[in-house]
């Protein structure tokens, strides 16, 4: 069975529709969140094999 680690949780800040994130896709927002999550956690990005996240 593969090893799994939940490193930390993170979300983008709330913003009103059509404002701060209007030009960003869900994928773009996810990339920003994952990049920040890796930076905050201090883990080596090269050790990350898979990332699973969702959005609403």
Q: Are 9 and 34 in contact (CB under 8 A)?
A: no
Model pTM? Answer: 0.70
Q: Tell me: the pLDDT tens digits for 39-56?
A: 998 989 998 888 887 766
Mean pLDDT confidence for 9-33: 85
Cβ neighbors of 2 (< 8 A, separation 6 or more) are none
Q: What's the confidence (pLDDT) of residue 46?
A: 93
Angstrom distance (rounded) from CA 20 to CA 16: 8
**For residues 2-14, b (16+ Cβ closer than 10 Å) or e, as one string?**
eeeeeeeeeeeee
Asked if residue 21 has pLDDT above 80, the reply is yes
């Amino acid at each position: 069975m593969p090893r799994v680690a939940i490193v930390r949780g993170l979300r983008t800040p709330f913003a009103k529709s059509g404002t701060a994130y209007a030009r960003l896709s869900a994928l773009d927002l996810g990339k920003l969140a994952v990049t920040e999550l890796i930076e905050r956690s201090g883990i080596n990005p090269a050790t990350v094999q898979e990332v699973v996240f969702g959005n609403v």
